[in-house]
Amino acid sequence: MFSSLRRILAVFLKELIQMRRDRMTIGMILAIPIMQLVMFGYAINGDPRNLPTVLRVHEHSVFSRSLITALENTRYFRIVASTTSEARASTMLANGEAAFVLTVPAGFSRAILRGERPSVLLEADASDPAASANAVSALQQLPASVFQQDLKDAGITLPPSAPPFDIVVQRRYNPEGVTALNIVPGLIGVILTMTMTLVTSMAVVKEFERGTMENLLAMPAKPHEVMFGKILPYVLLGYAQVVIIFAAARFLFDVPMAGSYSGLLLIVGIFIAANLSVGFTLSTLATNQAQAMQMTMFFFLPSILLSGFMFPFRGMPNWAQWIGEVLPITHFLRLVRAIMLKGTPIAEMADELWALLAFTAVMWVVAMLRYRRTLD
Amino acid sequence: MTTVYAIDVKGLTKRFGNKTVVDQFALQVPKGQVWGFLGPNGSGKTTTIRMLCGLLRPDAGEGTCLGLDILHEGGLIKRQVGYMTQKFSFYEDLSIRENLEFVARLYELKDQRIAVDQSLAELGLTQRQRQLAGQLSGGWKQRLALAACVLHKPALLLLDEPTAGVDPQARRDFWEKIHLLAGDGITVLVSTHYMDEAERCDRIVYLAYGQILAQGTIAEVIKASGLHTYIVSGGDIRGLARALHGQEGVTQVSVFGTTLHVCGVDREALDRAVAPYRAWPGTTWTVAEASLEDVFIHLMAPFRDRIQG
Ligand SMILES: Nc1ncnc2c1ncn2[C@@H]1O[C@H](COP(=O)(O)OP(=O)(O)OP(=O)(O)O)[C@@H](O)[C@H]1O
Ligand SMILES: [Mg+2]
């Protein structure tokens, strides 16, 4: 046990010295967060449909039924639950099970019939403004037309100038709908994915390319010792990146921090481990640094395109969502956005956390099995 | 398990694709001896050494190193073996001292600082310890590599062409050190292309195309070759070499500066072949024992049409 730790330390110190001497890589790793933050200042708007919606209907009437039918007909909303409990609806919004909560007040139809123009409340999860924007504007078309037939059937004519009810939209978590608020936490995931995977895969392949692996293998270091020792310095580097991004998030983009830092650091740690194990696995497949680079890109592209970073996750076709679910960054993004923007406690996001841990564990096992103990 | 052999293997075979690089290799090296490992380029020396220290998995064969099973106890073997690779494989972006420290830590040496300091002093590199290993000249890299692979006081040293590109003085120091270590009971298997180094070994093993063609003391190997040699000096030996070349009974003719070596397997056939030339103007002919190099070239002859990289 202790001798294992001592050998891990040996590899760690060696790697640390080598890392420190490689100014280019360090510079790149620290500059990338800043570059990307600037580049991704703008977001790309998707048009996701079938967004999960929770209904809180306090009145069951012709009007509420028509409204719900019309809501579903817009194809932007998919009703996933119906509840009268405000707490339950809020939780679902906070942990991402629902993107919207629609509340129809009691006495809705009576108020309409009396021409009092009652309000329907739509609470939207605006932490990803691009995802909710189109749905919100589709909903705002409804009041003018949705009850025409019902009112005619009831023999009532209201003044044509104003719609019979209002929709009040409440954007939760990101009231101004600022894209940067969504992008910046996402960038933590993207930057860590890219740099962590790349540096580890290179660090291992380099040993083979320079021939130093022959020596390392001839000495009494076990695979997991080499792996831990090599990975640790990059974990430190990963945290350095996170600090840079946080500083930028605070001072350049005014991104709030609603949740706990300790929860965030924990998740960042697991996520870094996940990416390092991917890097290590890639390094066992590649025979030179150029190949390691290509493979990293191969992993990186779906990570930005299919994770919900670039395009709203719910706007993607099913097959793309399935791929996305496998990628660690997808779960990481959900966790980080929930923690930073919504202040959701980690305990409520247990599923995402487990998914992240499971991915990491599987990758570590694959990496260990694939690590070459001989030169064959 | 105690054994008198530091290396005791048999049937070792290694294939790359469908090419058999080492074929049924068997070797028994007693503890405390220095054995030379010779053979032409591509004959499988490096491959054999790598199998001995667990870097390559043999396709067939079995055996022990220091009494430990090479197939299953590789981890334990690694702690007691010092392997010096043919190509420099320490970290060029670490300093001399950092490389030694890394090795000392991996082997969990006690008193690491002292061990490293001592090693640097012996190397004569104390002044340059902060220099990057990549900036050392080729010969100095070899010397650093040797120092690093004996740092943990191994019981068996596997050295793959340790003196390639090293100057004569350093080579002499190096061999002195090898014999000093052997005196302490360390076993050494050292591959080399230098004849004078072969002569410094207790025994030699000659490998060609993955098979052992000869082994024993120098005298034994020369005797076993059955080679007869004339050494000719004086006169126009280059012209004589041209004339003798390809004569029946003459297997090799080669010029060594002012002398000419003429060899043959069959004494009578050789005498018959050289008889017409013994009166070549200005030459003196002496019967001599074949040199080791003559023997190796002779051993290689049957394979000369086989090209191997
Ligand atoms: N990893 C490998 N894959 C395929 N072929 C290999 C590999 N390593 C060695 N060989 C082949 O095995 C043969 C023996 O190589 P080896 O390096 O053992 O020779 P050597 O005796 O050490 O030669 P030298 O004196 O040039 O160092 C060569 O033909 C070489 O091409
Ligand atoms: Mg070799």
A284 & A261 share domain: yes
Which of residues A162 and B140 earns the better pLDDT score? B140
B170 & B262 share domain: no
Q: What is the CATH number of the domain that holds B283?
A: 3.30.70.250
Of the residues B20, B46, B49, B55, which should be mutated to test ligand 1's pocket, given the most ligand atoms within 8 Å of the CB?
Answer: B46
Give the count of beta carbons closer than 10 Å to the beta carbon of residue A246: 20
For ligand 2, the distance from its centroid to the CA atom of residue B201, given in whole angstroms, is 18
* Amino acid (1-letter code) at residue A72: E
Chain A: closest CA distance from residue B146 (Å): 12
Measured by CA distance, the residue closest to atom 17 of ligand 1 is B46
The mean pLDDT of B248-269, rounded to a whole number, is: 88
Given A145, A172, A199, the domain boundary residue is: A172
For ligand 2, the distance from its centroid to the CA atom of residue A78, given in whole angstroms, is 69
Searching chain B, which residue's CA lies closest to the CA of residue A23? Answer: B93
Q: Give chain A's length.
A: 376
A224 & A337 share domain: yes
B42 & B169 share domain: yes
For residue B308, pLDDT over 60 is answered with no
**Is residue B153 less than 8 Å (CB to CB) from chain A?**
no
Searching chain B, which residue's CA lies closest to the CA of residue A8? Answer: B106
B264 & B150 share domain: no
Strands A119-125 and A166-172: parallel
Given B221, B236, B269, the domain boundary residue is: B221
Beta bridge partners, A125, equal A172
Contact between residue B228 and residue B264 where contact means Cβ atoms under 8 Å apart: yes
Give the 3-state secondary structure of residue A193. Answer: helix
Beta bridge partners, A55, equal A82, A102
Joined together, the tokens standing for residue B213 give: 């063609």
Of the residues B21, B37, B53, B194, which should be mutated to test ligand 1's pocket, given the most ligand atoms within 8 Å of the CB?
Answer: B21
Chain B: closest CA distance from residue A9 (Å): 8
* Predicted pLDDT at A39: 66
Within 8 A of B93 by CB-CB distance, chain A residues are 17-18, 21-22
For residue B305, pLDDT over 90 is answered with no
* Predicted pLDDT at A63: 84
Given A172, A190, A224, the domain boundary residue is: A172
Quick one: pLDDT band at residue B91, thresholds 50, 70, 90? very high
* Amino acid (1-letter code) at residue B302: P
Q: How far is CA A207 from the centre of its chain?
A: 34
For residue B249, pLDDT over 90 is answered with no
For ligand 2, the distance from its centroid to the CA atom of residue B46, given in whole angstroms, is 4
A131 & A188 share domain: no
* Predicted pLDDT at A110: 86
Over residues A280-305, the pLDDT tens digits come to 899 888 888 888 888 898 898 889 88
A146 & A217 share domain: no
Question: What whole-number distance in Å separates Cα of residue B125 and Cα of residue B106?
Answer: 22
Asked if the structure places residue A37 within a domain, the reply is: no
Render A303-360 in DSSP notation, one character per residue: HHHSSSSSS-GGGS-HHHHHHHHHSHHHHHHHHHHIIIII---GGGGHHHHHHHHHHH
Q: What is the CATH number of the domain that holds B86?
A: 3.40.50.300
A157 & A195 share domain: no
- Show the ligand 1 pocket: residues with CB < 6 angstroms: B 16, 21, 39, 41-47, 86, 308-309
Sheet holding B187-191, edge to edge: B81-84, B156-160, B187-191, B34-38, B203-208, B211-216
CA angle B268, B269, B274 (to 5 degrees): 100
Asked if the structure places residue A269 within a domain, the reply is: yes
* Predicted pLDDT at B108: 93
For ligand 1, the distance from its centroid to the CA atom of residue B309, given in whole angstroms, is 7
Domain of B208 in residue numbering reads as 5-221
B250 & B210 share domain: no
A135 & A273 share domain: no
B80 & B117 share domain: yes
* Predicted pLDDT at A45: 43
Chain B: closest CA distance from residue A193 (Å): 27
Q: What is the CATH number of the domain that holds A64?
A: 3.40.1710.10
Question: What whole-number distance in Å separates Cα of residue A225 and Cα of residue A334?
Answer: 32
Searching chain A, which residue's CA lies closest to the CA of residue B94? Answer: A18
Over residues B201-211, the pLDDT tens digits come to 999 999 998 89
Range in A156-170, B122-136, B144-158, B244-258 with the lowest mean pLDDT: A156-170
Given B170, B186, B221, the domain boundary residue is: B221
* Predicted pLDDT at A47: 65
Searching chain B, which residue's CA lies closest to the CA of residue A372? Answer: B55
For residue B307, pLDDT over 60 is answered with no
Percent with pLDDT over 90 in chain B: 59
The mean pLDDT of B25-33, rounded to a whole number, is: 94
Nearest to B13 by CA among B22, B1, B5: B22
B199 & B245 share domain: no
Quick one: pLDDT band at residue B35, thresholds 50, 70, 90? very high
Render A251-282 in DSSP notation, one character per residue: HTT-----S-HHHHHHHHHHHHHHHHHHHHHH
* Predicted pLDDT at A165: 84
Measured by CA distance, the residue closest to atom 1 of ligand 1 is A376
Count of domains for chain B: 2
Count of domains for chain A: 2
B29 & B140 share domain: yes
* Predicted pLDDT at A61: 86
Range in A183-192, A244-253, B9-18, B116-125 with the lowest mean pLDDT: A244-253
* Predicted pLDDT at A43: 42
* Predicted pLDDT at A44: 42
Residues in chain A where the model's pLDDT stays below 50: 42-45
Given B163, B188, B221, the domain boundary residue is: B221
For ligand 1, the distance from its centroid to the CA atom of residue B183, given in whole angstroms, is 32
* Predicted pLDDT at A42: 43
Domain of A187 in residue numbering reads as 179-375
B181 & B57 share domain: yes
A97 & A208 share domain: no
A168 & A189 share domain: no
B284 & B175 share domain: no
Chain A: closest CA distance from residue B306 (Å): 25
Q: Is A258 left (phi over 0), alpha (psi -120 to 50) or beta?
A: alpha
- Ligand number nearest to the C-alpha of B40: 1
Over residues A26-74, the pLDDT tens digits come to 787 777 777 776 666 544 445 677 889 999 988 888 888 888 888 888 8
- Across A302-316, B143-157, B257-271, which has the greatest mean pLDDT? B143-157
A185 & A166 share domain: no
Q: What number does the ligand 1 atom closest to the CA of B47 have? A: 18
- Across A51-60, A363-372, B147-156, B241-250, which has the greatest mean pLDDT? B147-156
Render B82-115 in DSSP notation, one character per residue: EEE-SS--S-TTSBHHHHHHHHHHHTT-SSHHHH
A346 & A264 share domain: yes
Residues with CB under 5 A from ligand 2 (ion): B 45-46, 86
**Is residue B38 less than 8 Å (CB to CB) from chain A?**
no
Contact between residue A25 and residue A172 where contact means Cβ atoms under 8 Å apart: no
